[in-house]
Structure 1
């Protein structure tokens, strides 16, 4: 499931780049930053999105 989250993050980054969005804010609102959430953010960073 974490690998799927990473792929979704990469896809999100690709779509953001297509829409000319280069950076975003990842607000975890006090929740822990691990598991699928961390994997999603890492995938987005690998895709070129600045978080």
Structure 2
């Protein structure tokens, strides 16, 4: 269980760092990924970036 939680946090942090590198808020995308799902956060981020 601890390994799954650690992977979840690491995946969410990775999405946050990717967003931060592109001028978006790290904490916003990290939180979205933590609350919902890292995969959902990544897909949502990709949709937001494409629409702008």
Larger % of helix: which? 2
Q: Could you say which TM-score interval applies, normalised by the shorter chain?
A: 0.3 to 0.5
Superposition TM-score, scaled by structure 1 size: 0.43
